[in-house]
Amino acid sequence: MPQGLSVGRLIRTTVTLSPLAAQRRGFGTLLIINDSDVISPEERVRTYITLEDVAQDFGTTNPAYLAARLYFGQSPRPQQLQIGRWVSSGSNGFLTCGALSESEQLMTAWTSITDASFSVVLNSGPLLNLSGMDFTGMANLNAVASLITTTMEAAGGQAVCAWDGERFNFTSQLPGSISEVSYLIAGTVGTDISAQLKGTEALAVAIQTGTDAETPVDAVAILANTSAVWFGCMFASNTLVINEQAIEVAGLIEGLSLDRIYGVTITSPDVLSASVTNDLASQLKALKYNRTFTQYSENIYAVASFMGRAFSVNFAANRSTITLMYKVEPGVNAEYLSETQAQTLKMKNCNVFVNYVNDTSIIQYGVMSSGAYFDEIHGLSWFKDALQNAEYNLLYQSTTKIPQTDAGQNQLIATAAAVCDESINNGLVAPGQWNADGFGQLQRGDYMPSGYYIYTPPLSLQDQSIREQRIAPPLQIALKLAGAFQELDILVSVNR
């Protein structure tokens, strides 16, 4: 039966979904940099949300696990961890052959071959023609792999063949960028087994060239380009990072366009001596690095616990920001220090988890190598990202455009103010007196009741050439950090 004309012929309606907002970056993920071969140089980074997952991949004795245990052992517990690969020594090239079916694994398919052959190129060398391999009487495919290895070695090839229960794998024994195993091709004489091994280009799974050894700073640079998720990093590896290398990493972290931080545990007691001025803490302090911090501890992975506590902060929650002073490090033995040693660490801007005479243990002093407080660097990194993303999303999600008018400028100001209000809600910013040079209507000594002040010059003052590039007048924001009480003096007057 006819149902009548569509209303759409008269009332034409279009529904448009606005694009999803660009996500803010997280500031609660630690990257543990490890040099074991659990993670390949190609994969580089893995993400974990439980310690059990780390133990499954790395076992319970690997440095990565020992650091992760301290990180996840904090309370409240951080939600996410990444582990990145440092190629501390040259890696080996390899060829992963295709998997053999059950019938292809039967020894009857191999023991009838008395003159097996194939050809391969190893480590950029000449073509090796391998032949005369007799598999008669072989008990299993491990024995087949062993004979192939022996034949390659006899021909001058530095590589081994191994059977893993599913496939054959060829691995070069020469590490570095020239380390490689080519696809297998047919031999010149005898019975060709290149296809039977499933090592030909058509049948193999993967071929990977080896890599040269990386310095720690090279590894961090690669990992910074690999993942934008992690905010803090530390090394937990079998190869120790020496002081000179740690300073190079600190310099890189300081200059990265995407804010990161770097933590180093200092185990040498030299840092406790005021007469020693070339220790790592002293050198990093002299360089005034804002994005590197140190901690003295006998536990080489102690900074994992430090960052675990810091990275549990939820900047979207109310009054959630913290100072690291007075916090604890579960799993780390607190140090017993003399007053002189404690003062020396304070002078060198080196943190420590220390025992007090009242049977408590606390982190002190919660500072970066420059002397800036860790929580302020952490919080301002969040604020910068939140502000950038908020203004980006204003422009990105607008269904029309933000006009170059006073009304459009007010939208930019309102967006910035919303982020400033978030910083008040989480405790990063608070009302107070402005004690720096002012701008706009703000003067030194003015009280800021909201904790922030936003100024932008009138559009009428903007140069025409800048306007024609559609660049908005700059926003200037004054923030009054809430800070935190960490020490106090108590004066008691007594009268008889």
Could you report the per-residue pLDDT of 423-477, keeping only the tens digit for each? 999 999 999 999 999 999 999 999 999 999 999 999 999 999 999 999 999 999 9
Q: What pLDDT score does 61 carry? A: 97
Could you report the per-residue pLDDT of 137-146, keeping only the tens digit for each? 999 999 999 9
User: Which residue type sits at 109?
Assistant: A
Q: What pLDDT score does 1 carry? A: 58
User: Which residues face 192 on adjacent strands?
Assistant: 117
**What is the rounded average pLDDT of the residues 297-303?**
98
Give percent above pLDDT 70 in the chain: 100
To which residue do tokens 């300081």 refer?
254
User: Which residues face 129 on adjacent strands?
Assistant: 119
Q: How far is CA 413 from CA 281, 404, 407, in A?
A: 42, 13, 10
CA 260, CA 27: separation in Å to the nearest integer? 9
Start-to-end Cα distance in the chain: 107
Query: Which spans in 348-405 are helix H?
Result: 374-397
- In 3D space, the residue among 229, 182, 183 whose CA is nearest the CA of residue 31 turns out to be 229
Backbone φ and ψ for 403, nearest 5 degrees, come out as -70, 155
pLDDT at 2 over 70: no
CA 281, CA 419: separation in Å to the nearest integer? 35
- In the predicted model, what is the mean pLDDT of the chain? 95
CA 4, CA 382: separation in Å to the nearest integer? 58
Could you report the per-residue pLDDT of 232-281, keeping only the tens digit for each? 999 999 999 999 999 999 999 999 999 999 999 999 999 999 999 999 99
Exposed (0-12), middle (13-18) or buried (19+): which is 141, by Cβ within 10 Å? buried
Q: What pLDDT score does 227 carry? A: 95
CA 219, CA 327: separation in Å to the nearest integer? 31
Note the residue count of the chain: 496
To which residue do tokens 């590039």 refer?
469
Q: Does residue 251 sit in helix, strand or coil? A: helix
Q: What pLDDT score does 211 carry? A: 86
User: Which residue type sits at 448?
Assistant: M
Q: Does residue 369 sit in helix, strand or coil? A: coil
CA 473, CA 459: separation in Å to the nearest integer? 7
CA 216, CA 300: separation in Å to the nearest integer? 17
pLDDT at 12 over 80: no
CB 100 within 8 A of CB 114: no
pLDDT at 18 over 80: no
CA 251, CA 185: separation in Å to the nearest integer? 48
Beta strands in 409-475 (DSSP E): 432-433, 447-448, 452-455
Could you report the per-residue pLDDT of 279-289, keeping only the tens digit for each? 999 999 999 99
Tokens standing for residue 37: 């071969």
pTM of the model: 0.84
Tokens standing for residue 158: 């530095």
